[in-house]
Amino acid sequence: MAVIGASAHPGHLGYNIFRSLSSARARVYAVNRRVDSIEGHPAYRSIAEVPERIDCAVIAIPAAATPEVAKECAECGVGVIIPIASGFSEGGPEGAKLERELCDALAGSQTRLLGPNTLGVVVPHDGLDTLFLERDRSPRPGEGSVALISQSGSVSVALMERFAEEGLGISAAVGLGNRADIDELELLEAFRDDPRTTVVSLYLETFKDARALLTMSRPLSRAKPLVVLKGGLTARGSAAASSHTGRLAAGSPEVVRRAFWQGGWIVADDEVELTDFAKVLALAPPLQGGRLAVVSSGGGYGVLATDLIEGDFGDRLSMATLGEPIQVRIEELTGGLAATANPIDLTGSTQDSWYSECLTLLQREESVDGILAFVQFEPPGITQAVYDLVAARMRESTKPLVLGVLAGSRTAEAVREFARRGVAAYPTIRRAIASLACLRERSHLLARPAPEASSGPARPRRRARPSAKAAGTHG
């Protein structure tokens, strides 16, 4: 790899990128014609002087100088360039002209372009991180199985910070930027074939080829869950998206939602839902039926959860009716203290073992399709052992288990600890229930007839270099 515009000055973008890439499983070269070394590494005056062929070059220089450097990269056989500067088609006619010059600089070569106007790529497994943001200011998520594709750099950063905060790891995060070459369609193909990716999440403001996106995603969604957050649904939002990415957004909210549903996508309404849905789809199986059992150590949580399940989420979920045998078992388990009709209240006398045994009973109960459990850490009988006990019950069952963790100042850490053990946990009642509704929606999507195989030619993995005329247009 190479960082073109690498800097020796702390705080500069080129300095931060070079530092971020220092832990990558790759040899990283600094390119800067004004200095001899950076952080103890030799600095080369141009990409042509680097002693190895470069697979990926991050270009951290102003937009106006980027086309000339891109041409040098193409002549040297660089695999992919990532120009991070803004000031291209998102900036108006002059920027669009500069973007066409950038595409022309790569014409006829095998060099691919991610962006421009992009933060680039983060792949924790390989230590690959092209972000110019310092890690102490913008924490990165660890290694996991959720792929994140985002047309917006700021949204991508916000989502990665949310993932990190909640203990959810990623297989990769890729910023599309202006999509002058590499787009979401090619990335979907890549993540379809990536064994480390089990869920694909997407933030999209504009369509480059809406029909191709939905046609491709329908069969893909049967193998891997797809979650999308679409920006630019209102007139003002569409105008903002156009100024942000240099392309036009299209479609009313309802039309877009229905189109994504046909394509097999689960649609999130905001960044919180995108994170929540990606988490539960990565950590829990689909909810085959809507009947839920609710367990808590505080009766009020069960009441509030019941109201939401039967009310706001009643189109997809319902409260399970528990038979007498399982209620008797729970009563025996708790010495007659628990309220055994659904919702189940284990009371403040609960213990780690009560949670564990109660979850086991519910997972075996035929009248129950999924479980919502509230774990509170205030009762004296609840210890740190509850993390592993609940995780063990999750691993042993084919029914989804989602947790609500309402533990005051300890909530955030508890949510992370459960996620690290493979259990989806949420800090509010509504978010936990919404995630179970997402699993029910996933089950409905899988129950649809499989799409017929396309009679048309397969989309090539490496497409022809976009022409100057095509660059900056919208689909």
Which pLDDT belongs to residue 90?
A: 93
The β-bridge partners of 42 are 37
Q: How much is the pTM?
A: 0.90
């679409």: which residue's tokens?
230
Alpha carbon distance 283, 403 (integer Å): 12
Q: Which residues have CB under 8 Å from 269's CB, separation 6+?
A: 229
In contact, 184 and 208? CB cutoff 8 Å: yes
Residue 468 predicted with pLDDT over 60: no
* pLDDT band for position 450 (cuts 50, 70, 90): confident
Residues 151 and 216 in one domain: yes
Which pLDDT belongs to residue 39?
A: 87
Least confident of 250-259, 420-429, 464-473: 464-473
Residues 278 and 293 in one domain: no
Alpha carbon distance 244, 249 (integer Å): 11
Q: Can you read off the two tokens belonging to residue 348? A: 């403040």
Please calculate the CA angle 384-390-396 and round it to the nearest 5 degrees: 145
Residues 279 and 340 in one domain: no
**Positive or negative, the Cα torsion across 203, 134, 34, 75?**
negative
pLDDT tens by residue, 55-91: 999 999 999 999 999 999 999 999 999 999 999 999 9
Residue 462 predicted with pLDDT over 70: no
DSSP string for 218-276:
HHHHHHS-EEEEE---SHHHHHHHHHHHSS-----HHHHHHHHHHTTEEEPSSHHHHHH
* CATH code of residue 408: 3.40.50.261
Residues 78 and 182 in one domain: no
Rounded to the nearest 10 degrees, the angle between the axes of helix 253-262 and helix 210-223 is: 50
Residue 440 predicted with pLDDT over 50: yes
Helix (H, G, I), strand (E, B) or coil at 19: helix
Amino acid, single-letter form, for residue 7? S
Residue 434 predicted with pLDDT over 50: yes
Residues 191 and 333 in one domain: no
pLDDT tens by residue, 112-169: 999 999 999 999 999 999 999 999 999 999 999 999 999 999 999 999 999 999 999 9
* pLDDT band for position 461 (cuts 50, 70, 90): very low
Residue 243 predicted with pLDDT over 90: no
Is the model more confident about 455 or about 34? Answer: 34
pLDDT tens by residue, 155-212: 999 999 999 999 999 999 999 999 999 999 999 999 999 999 999 999 999 988 999 9
Nearest CA to 245 out of 90, 116, 88 is that of 90
Residues 366 and 342 in one domain: yes
pLDDT tens by residue, 384-426: 999 999 999 999 989 999 999 988 889 999 999 999 999 999 9
Residue that finishes a domain, picked among 266, 283, 300:
283
**Within a domain: 125:** no
Domain that holds residue 179: 139-283
Mean pLDDT of the chain, nearest integer: 91
Residues 289 and 279 in one domain: no
Residues 177 and 290 in one domain: no
**Within a domain: 130:** no
Residue 471 predicted with pLDDT over 60: no
Rounded to the nearest 10 degrees, the angle between the axes of helix 93-106 and helix 66-75 is: 10
Residue 238 predicted with pLDDT over 70: no
**Positive or negative, the Cα torsion across 130, 131, 137, 141?**
negative
**Within a domain: 30:** yes
Which pLDDT belongs to residue 236?
A: 61
Please calculate the CA angle 163-167-168 and round it to the nearest 5 degrees: 55
What is the average pLDDT across 214-243?
80
Is the model more confident about 449 or about 461? Answer: 449
Nearest CA to 365 out of 282, 427, 295 is that of 295
**Within a domain: 417:** yes
Residues 155 and 241 in one domain: yes
Q: Can you read off the two tokens belonging to residue 462? A: 């490496």
Residues 307 and 259 in one domain: no
Which pLDDT belongs to residue 233?
A: 67
Which pLDDT belongs to residue 255?
A: 84
Residues 298 and 439 in one domain: yes
In contact, 136 and 110? CB cutoff 8 Å: no
Q: Which residues have CB under 8 Å from 226's CB, separation 6+?
A: 199, 200, 201, 202, 217, 220, 263, 264, 265, 266
* CATH code of residue 1: 3.40.50.720
Which pLDDT belongs to residue 407?
A: 83
The β-bridge partners of 203 are 150, 229
Q: Euclidean distance between the first and final Cα of the chain, in Å?
A: 33
**Within a domain: 75:** yes
Which pLDDT belongs to residue 234?
A: 62
**Within a domain: 25:** yes
CA–CA distances in Å: residue 265 to residues 140, 230, 331: 26, 11, 42
